Amino acid sequence: MRSIARRNRFRPAHSPEQGYNTRLKLALIGYGNVGRALMRLLIRKRREFPFTVTGIHTRSHGTALRAAGLGANPAFGPPAASIGEFLDAADADTAVELTTLDPSTGEPAISHIRAAFARGMHAVTANKGPIAHAFASLSEQAENAGVGFRFESTVMDGTPIFSVWRHNLPGVEVMGFTGALNSTSKIVVETMERGGSFEEGLAAARAMGITEGDGAFDIEGWDSAAKTAALANVLLDARTTPQQVSTRGIGHLTPERIAEINRAGKTVRLISRGRRTAKGVSLRVRAEVLDRSDILACTPGTSNLILFDTDLMGTFGTVSIEPRVEQTAYGVFSDLVDLWRHL
Ligand SMILES: NC(=O)c1ccc[n+]([C@@H]2O[C@H](COP(=O)([O-])OP(=O)(O)OC[C@H]3O[C@@H](n4cnc5c(N)ncnc54)[C@H](OP(=O)(O)O)[C@@H]3O)[C@@H](O)[C@H]2O)c1
């Protein structure tokens, strides 16, 4: 398969009418919440979509391999000595990178994806680190290797964003975007609006499983900065990193300040903004005071929303209401289907 992937440039090989007969063999790197949800989805849809997981590699649970396909609860053996050794042993067409995010470097996910491309494998990831830090060079490497690279779940879980631009808006140029993309900050603000403390809001978000580590990553705006950099790299060709996004989070907000804002009929949202300018691309994340009727303030709880400003399609947007890990897994699944249809 590797030599075939190298030989054939990555482009549609047949139409829906002709059918899609090729099986896609998957090597999963990371088997946590998203990996397990993806496995459940693959099993649920296996009659219609012939995907086989031939290997799973984790940091501390070890490595599982089975050419005929692994089930939802694989027996893990000793870990492969390196990602290269794992990918070679799994003998798959596609690497699915689902490891923990390192927002400051994007590693080791970037190296994992590079190792896959070097072997003529396609790569799909839900990890926004590689897109926020190295999108241009990874895309170039994929192009040179003649393989596909997909990353739908890196922003707004599985909600179609990148695939919409890839498949549905020919000729349309993105001039900018505005998004309420961080759920933890919204839960904290909503808790304070109900009379709770900042810490109670953070604890509520953590109990919902939507907060990373100690929560500082979300509260200080770095999650939003990583998503902003990822969107800008893909849609505005910004070639930027999260560190280059002007970022200020919600850490300075107090229940007293929130009550004052509420009395004026307003609320606060952590907003990501990206825009083409005469000097390049302007990117920022801020806790913005918004009218309650502002569309950016209207989505409840963990819901996310993004608006795009375009040259031909005016302004339009996408909203995801209370997404869960199943929707993240679906974004990965939709990427796999997209690749499979182009094999
Ligand atoms: N959860 C969501 O709803 C969601 C939404 C959008 C995007 N994402 C992104 O999707 C990715 C996965 O999220 P998750 O919630 O599934 O994370 P998770 O539950 O923490 O699982 C991470 C997995 O990655 C493995 N891992 C970490 N470092 C590794 C390394 N160096 N080599 C091999 N395996 C490694 C871990 O191994 P061990 O099992 O041995 O620890 C674990 O299996 C993250 O990048 C996250 O930001 C998640």
Domains of the chain (ranges plus CATH)? 2-158+326-341 (3.40.50.720), 174-322 (3.30.360.10)
Q: Which of ligand 1's atoms lies nearest the C-alpha of 62?
A: 40
Mutate to test the pocket of ligand 1, among 41, 56, 61, 100 (most ligand atoms within 8 A of CB): 100
246 CA → ligand 1 middle, Å: 27
For ligand 1, atom 35, the nearest C-alpha belongs to: 59
How far is the centre of ligand 1, averaged over its atoms, from the C-alpha of 31 (Å)?
7
Percent of the chain with pLDDT over 70: 93
101 lines ligand 1 (CB under 6 A): yes
Residue 294 has pLDDT above 70, yes or no: yes
Contact 109, 218 (CB under 8 A): no
pLDDT score at 16? 47
Kindly provide the residue ranges of all beta strands, DSSP E only, lying in the chain, ordered along the sequence: 24-29, 51-57, 63-65, 94-97, 122-125, 149-150, 174-180, 246-247, 266-277, 280-291, 304-310, 315-320
Query: If you average pLDDT over residues 34-44, what whole number do you get?
Result: 97
Residue pair 98/32 in contact (Cβ under 8 Å)? The answer is: yes
- pLDDT tens sequence across 315-328: 999 999 999 999 99
Query: What is the atom index within ligand 1 of the atom nearest the CA of 31?
Result: 43
Type and span of the H or E element at 145:
helix 128-145
Asked whether residue 10 carries a pLDDT value surpassing 50, the answer given is no
Among protein residues, the one with the nearest Cα to ligand 1's atom 46 is 127
Beta bridge partners of 172: none
Determine the distance separating the centroid of ligand 1 and the alpha carbon of 19, expressed in angstroms: 34
Residue 99 near residue 129 (C-beta atoms within 8 A): no
Burial of 209 (0-12, 13-18, 19+ CB in 10 A): exposed
Alpha-carbon span 245 to 93, nearest angstrom: 35
Q: Is 191 exposed, middle or buried (0-12, 13-18, 19+ CB in 10 A)?
A: buried
Q: For residues 85 and 29, is the Cβ–Cβ distance under 8 A?
A: no
CA 60 to ligand 1: nearest atom: 40
Q: What phi and psi, each to the nearest 5 degrees, are found at residue 292?
A: -60, -25
Quick one: pLDDT band at residue 20, thresholds 50, 70, 90? low
Q: How far is the CA of 112 from the centre of ligand 1 (A)?
A: 13
Read off the pLDDT of each residue in 215-231 and give the average, rounded to a whole number. 94
Sign of the Cα pseudo-torsion (284, 287, 291, 294, in order): positive
Segment 139-197, tens digit of pLDDT? 999 999 999 999 999 999 999 999 999 999 999 999 999 999 999 999 999 999 999 99
* Mean pLDDT along residues 18-32: 81
DSSP 59: S
- What is the mean predicted confidence (pLDDT) over 111-130? 98
Instruction: Determine if ligand 1 sits within 6 Å of the CB of residue 94.
Output: no
Please give the distance, rounded to the nearest whole angstrom, from the Cα atom of residue 76 to the centre of ligand 1.
17
Among candidate residues 159, 179, 161, the one with its CA nearest the CA of residue 297: 179
Pocket flag, ligand 1, residue 59 (CB < 6 Å): yes
- Judge if the beta carbon of residue 125 lies within 6 A of ligand 1: no
> What per-residue confidence (pLDDT) applies to 342?
80
Q: With bands split at pLDDT 50, 70 and 90, how would you rate the model's confidence at 15? A: very low
Contact 320, 157 (CB under 8 A): yes
Burial class (CB in 10 A: 0-12, 13-18, 19+), 75: exposed
Q: Is the CB of 98 under 6 A from ligand 1?
A: yes
Measured in degrees and rounded to the nearest 5, phi and psi for residue 248 equal -140, 125
Residues in the chain: 343
